[in-house]
Chain A
Amino acid sequence: GAGVSQSPSNKVTEKGKDVELRCDPISGHTALYWYRQSLGQGLEFLIYFQGNSAPDKSGLPSDRFSAERTGGSVSTLTIQRTQQEDSAVYLCASSPYLTPEQFFGPGTRLTVL
């Protein structure tokens, strides 16, 4: 079956603009996660969804970051008023209910000029 997909694969934006990153998890996976990876910070957890609710938003770095998940499936990560330090690869992962192993998408490389 299809794996986790993310779009766009690359996004270049100007400082101050808003961006939306999309994640399509594996069908039937109830848990969905967002991470970001940058040279300076490594892999950082951002937010975790179980179904449509987000029991853990602890990793969101500022109130410019938000995420939603609808229909227990697709998720969108929105970054408002982007800053240069937001440049990173944003990774999405999903997992079946109560399963710790995560399946990752290919990521979206965000560059803020």
Chain B
Amino acid sequence: SQQGEEDPQALSIQEGENATMNCSYKTSINNLQWYRQNSGRGLVHLILIRSNEREKHSGRLRVTLDTSKKSSSLLITASRAADTASYFCATALRGSGGGADGLTFGKGTHLIIQP
């Protein structure tokens, strides 16, 4: 079963607006990652947040993590047409590990940025 579940499933906003996507997971984690996928092919790693962190920033990306609610959010500020993609949260299959491990992904949020 999917460990992470994102919502919304689809999101369409105007260029320049902020986009927020949420993810929930079921088991304990060491870290949570967000990936982007363009055109249904390879995924690109965006950001990793560790279980002892509550918020992390990278450029226009802001990720939060609430381990008590088993949820995370990804905020993209000042969106651009190039941000149009699917976004997935991912957690390690073995949850508690901090190193290399297979990942379990949510179903993703398809984000469309309208010019």
Interface residues of A (CB under 8 A from B): 4, 30-31, 33, 35, 37, 42-43, 45, 47-48, 50, 56, 58-59, 89, 91, 93, 95, 97-107
Most chain B CB neighbours (cut-off 10 Å) among A45, A58, A59:
A45
B108 in contact with A42 (CB, 8 Å) = yes
CB < 8 Å A-B pair total: 68
A100 in contact with B102 (CB, 8 Å) = no
B100 in contact with A99 (CB, 8 Å) = yes
Contacts of A98 in B (CB 8 A): 98-100
Among A4, A42, A45, A103, point to the contact of B102 (Cβ < 8 A): A45
Interface residues of B (CB under 8 A from A): 2, 30-31, 33, 35, 40-45, 48, 88, 92-93, 98-108
B102 in contact with A56 (CB, 8 Å) = yes
A105 in contact with B2 (CB, 8 Å) = no
- Chain A at the B interface: mostly helix, strand, loop or mixed? strand
Contacts of B44 in A (CB 8 A): 104
Contacts of A59 in B (CB 8 A): 102
Distance in Å: Cβ of A61 to nearest Cβ of chain B: 14
B48 in contact with A91 (CB, 8 Å) = no
B42 in contact with A91 (CB, 8 Å) = yes
Contacts of A33 in B (CB 8 A): 102-103
B108 in contact with A97 (CB, 8 Å) = no
A37-B48 contact given A42-B107, A45-B102, A99-B100, CB 8 Å threshold: no
A-B contact pairs, 7 of them (CB 8 A): A31-B100, A43-B108, A58-B93, A95-B100, A99-B99, A100-B99, A100-B101
Contacts of B2 in A (CB 8 A): 42
Distance in Å: Cβ of A54 to nearest Cβ of chain B: 11
Distance in Å: Cβ of B39 to nearest Cβ of chain A: 10
